């Protein structure tokens, strides 16, 4: 069976979804020796046990993202791909019939004030269509599954939960001197929060709650993340 995967979330400084995608794909191709895997990217990317297909479109012209998705779907159909895995781009389910669509959260619907108005509108429209078109829906927690069912206003038998794994580099010693010194300076026990530093990540409530109970916990709070928006 031919399985195609959109690997574009891994390109251009991957954050949460990109890290989830690369780990998912790496584990799939490592343990599944029966199926053939094709990964689609905009620039060449070597990944063991996969065939990398680079699809290029003129990004200076309008709708380059949509045109890229359509070109990828067309190529996948032409080369008899059986299943397409879309880690984030909802539009793949519009153009390829057997798409496994990942939905990581519905933050633009729940917290539209944290997103540009047009981006929130596009997300709502694309998700609505994907929920109708996708062959299967996969999400990362039962909480998001419940929210998707509430959004659909019905129980769904086509939504599966696939929890994120532990990135292997976390358990390896760091070669970064500054990072190593920082890790060694931490106590044996601490509360760790990892995520992009922006208002919708709920850090204000986290810090408020920690301040209220820190004397009882007697464990420091460590927050790690890339700064995106000003609080």
Residue 62 lies in a domain: yes
Place 197 in a pLDDT band, splitting at 50, 70 and 90. Answer: confident
Q: Are 107 and 114 in contact (CB under 8 A)?
A: yes
Task: Residue 45: give the domain boundaries.
Answer: 2-161
Same domain, 216 and 134: no
H-assigned helices in the chain: 16-31, 64-78, 92-95, 107-110, 117-133, 142-152, 177-185, 203-217
Residue 217 lies in a domain: yes
Same domain, 178 and 144: no
CA 8 – CA 23 distance, rounded (Å): 14
Residue 231 has pLDDT above 60, yes or no: no
pTM: 0.81
CA 171 – CA 179 distance, rounded (Å): 13
Q: Which residues contact 185 (CB under 8 A, 6 or more apart)?
A: none
Same domain, 11 and 79: yes
Domain total in the chain: 2
Same domain, 39 and 60: yes
Same domain, 155 and 187: no
Show the tokens assigned to 124. Answer: 């709502």
pLDDT value for 173: 60
Residue 15 lies in a domain: yes
Same domain, 105 and 193: no
Same domain, 134 and 212: no
pLDDT value for 135: 95
pLDDT value for 16: 81
Model confidence over 91-136: pLDDT tens digits? 999 999 999 999 999 999 988 988 889 999 999 999 999 999 999 9
Same domain, 157 and 177: no
């Amino acid at each position: 069976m031919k399985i195609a995967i959109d690997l574009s979330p891994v390109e251009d400084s991957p954050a949460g979804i990109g890290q989830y995608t690369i780990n998912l794909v790496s584990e799939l191709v490592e343990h599944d020796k029966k199926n053939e895997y094709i990964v689609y990217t905009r620039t060449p990317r070597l990944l063991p046990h996969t065939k990398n297909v680079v699809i290029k479109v003129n990004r200076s012209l309008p709708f380059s993202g949509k045109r890229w998705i359509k070109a990828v779907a067309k190529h996948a159909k032409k080369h008899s791909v059986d299943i397409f895995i879309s880690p984030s781009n909802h539009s793949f389910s519009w153009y390829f019939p057997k798409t496994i669509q990942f939905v990581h959260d519905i933050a633009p619907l729940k917290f539209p004030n944290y997103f540009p108005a047009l981006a929130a509108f596009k997300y709502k429209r694309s998700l609505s269509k994907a929920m109708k078109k996708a062959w299967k829906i996969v999400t990362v927690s039962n909480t998001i599954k419940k929210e998707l069912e509430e959004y659909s206003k019905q129980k769904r038998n086509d939504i599966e939960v696939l929890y994120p794994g532990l990135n292997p580099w976390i358990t390896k010693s760091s070669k970064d001197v500054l990072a190593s010194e920082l890790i060694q300076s931490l106590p044996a026990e601490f509360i760790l929060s990892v995520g992009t530093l922006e208002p919708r990540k709920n850090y204000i409530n986290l810090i408020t709650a920690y301040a209220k109970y820190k004397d009882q916990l007697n464990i420091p709070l460590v927050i790690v993340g890339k700064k995106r928006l000003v609080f």
